[in-house]
Structure 1
Amino acid sequence: MSKSKSSSASVNNKKQHVIIYTDGACSGNPGPGGWGALLQWKDQEKTISGGEANTTNNRMELRAIIEALRILKKPCRVSVHSDSALIINAFTRGWIDNWLRKGWKKADKKPVENRDLWEELLQVMQPHDVEWVKVKGHSTDERNNRVDRLAVDASKKFQG
């Protein structure tokens, strides 16, 4: 259900490869938050950002990926780079498949938080072959630092 990486190499090779870096930020948790994304395709780049007045960091991390995938106009091979261990582990360790199988319950039997955004993410992923890449936050990865700045700047619009 949580489609990642195509099993058909010939179909996969025909799709254009897009690299996406995403990040979320929140001043307080909950509090005013922002998200940012950088999309790279060949030699082209696009940045997007947004935020909310009352949200959480995890919601902003999810929103960044959703909005980045939403603007892709056709099915692509996508490498999503994120410093969110929760999101990366949900897909690379099969957590999301377990949540779906257990009716959106975690291993501790508690409901999965932000189910609405997880469901939205699964929906916008459908046409794409998505690879999940964990990056270290606030480190030497300039693209990750760039989306962090986008997210922080977006969150400031909702403060005060």
Structure 2
Amino acid sequence: MTITAAADGSALGNPGPAGWAWYIDDNSWRAGGWPHGTNNMGELKAVLDLLEATAVDADQHLLILCDSQYVINSVTKWMPGWKRKGWRKKDGKPVLNVELLKDIDRALAGRSVEFEWVKGHSGHAMNEAADRRANAAATAFSKKQDPAVGPGYRSAGGAADGAAPAPAPASASAPEPSPAGGGGDDLFSLFDEASPEPGASCSTAVEDTVLVGDQPGATDFEQITAREQALLSDALRSDPPSAAELLHPSFTEIGASGRSDDREEILAHLAPLGGIDAEEFVADEVAPGVVLLQYTTHGPGGTAHRSSLWVREKGRWLLRHHQGTPARAADGRAAH
């Protein structure tokens, strides 16, 4: 027998009031959250609570439907390496949300668990049900109300586990610090400071924006510019798996603060930051199959000059490195 459940998280402000939920059916689901947390915390907590709730049926195979590539990759790909390195990433930096990940690691012991990625906000019934409950929990915390926690897990024997989830202790609910400070000059690393409006759906503009530059006859400049603009769009930043397809496996970004983030960190914190306009694109082929793209953006955090290095691999242009620098006014201060 296989237990199939959807798990999801939600954060209003990211970080902000946060919720999580898992859903099997209308008689077997649970939700909870914190007054202050991140979307990734909610996604991980939903998986953890699901593992703990279904432990009574640990002999059953558990299929977890999840729209978070961050969670799936963390658990199925990155966690073994993190553990070997003392829960540090390959660059020596500590792993984010490490306590939740350690708890998940312990809860997985002896279990037959499979993850399946589903596209969020695409009409998948179980994913939508989990999303609604996670968002409702986040909304309840934003209003300083108790969330609807659900009936809990109804085991194969027909009994519910009956344990209502309590808000996490302060040590677990404190959100991870933002990857960088500043005024919106970094292409990715500040995007965790904003999140989609509750219920916002991933737009087909993701595909449309990318494919415009990939039409037959499009020049390399048109393809690269289309990809760069797609990565600036709220649509693509709402869909990390699609954004991942445009990033080189060794992608890095250096923010204005001097902090360097790798591909894992960027995808883990990817979220929309609306109101960015880009202009003055200039491309320079610095080597065969390597193009330096420079341009200027204007947004809520001010004006920034950006540089992106794109490389061509197996016929596709991938972003290898990005750096953003705030524009300076005549008096030498950052322009706003």
Question: What TM-score do the two structures reach when normalised by structure 1?
Answer: 0.82
Q: Which amino acid aligns with 1:29?
A: N
Q: Which amino acid aligns with 1:96?
A: M
2:61 is the counterpart of 1:77: yes
Work out the CA distance in 2 between the residues paired with 1:133 and 1:117.
Answer: 20
Report which of the two structures shows the higher radius of gyration computed on alpha carbons: 2
Work out the CA distance in 1 between the residues paired with 2:20 and 2:78.
Answer: 23
Q: For 1:36, which of 4, 7, 21 is the aligned residue?
A: 21
Equivalence map 1:1-160=2 (5 Å): 16-39=1-24, 45-72=27-54, 73-75=56-58, 76-92=60-76, 94-160=77-143
Q: Over residues 67-114 of structure 1, what are the superposed CA-to-partner deviations in whole Å (9 max), with x where a residue is unaligned? A: 11111113121111101111111233x211110111111123211001
Contact map agreement 1:51 1:60 (CA 8 A) in 2: yes
* Displacement of 1:45: 4.7
Work out the CA distance in 2 between the residues paired with 1:67 and 1:95.
Answer: 21
More helix by share: 1
Question: What TM-score do the two structures reach when normalised by structure 2?
Answer: 0.40
Q: Which amino acid aligns with 1:88?
A: I
Q: SS state of the match for residue 57, structure 2?
A: coil
Q: Which amino acid aligns with 1:68?
A: L
% identity of equivalent residues? 35
Contact map agreement 1:39 1:68 (CA 8 A) in 2: no
* Displacement of 1:25: 0.1
Q: SS state of the match for residue 22, structure 2?
A: strand
More RCO (CA 8 Å, sep 6+): 1
Work out the CA distance in 2 between the residues paired with 1:35 and 1:90.
Answer: 17
Q: Following TM superposition, where does structure 1 have runs of at least 4 consecutive aligned residues deviating by more than 2 angstroms?
A: none
- Per the alignment, residue 221 of structure 2 pairs with none
Contact map agreement 2:5 2:126 (CA 8 A) in 1: no
Q: SS state of the match for residue 158, structure 1?
A: helix
Q: Which amino acid aligns with 2:127?
A: N
- Per the alignment, residue 153 of structure 2 pairs with none
Work out the CA distance in 2 between the residues paired with 1:149 and 1:18.
Answer: 21
List gaps (5 residues or longer) in structure 2: 144-336
Q: Over residues 44-83 of structure 1, what are the superposed CA-to-partner deviations in whole Å (9 max), with x where a residue is unaligned? A: 8511101110111111101101111111113121111101
Q: Which amino acid aligns with 2:31?
A: S
Give aligned pairs, total: 141
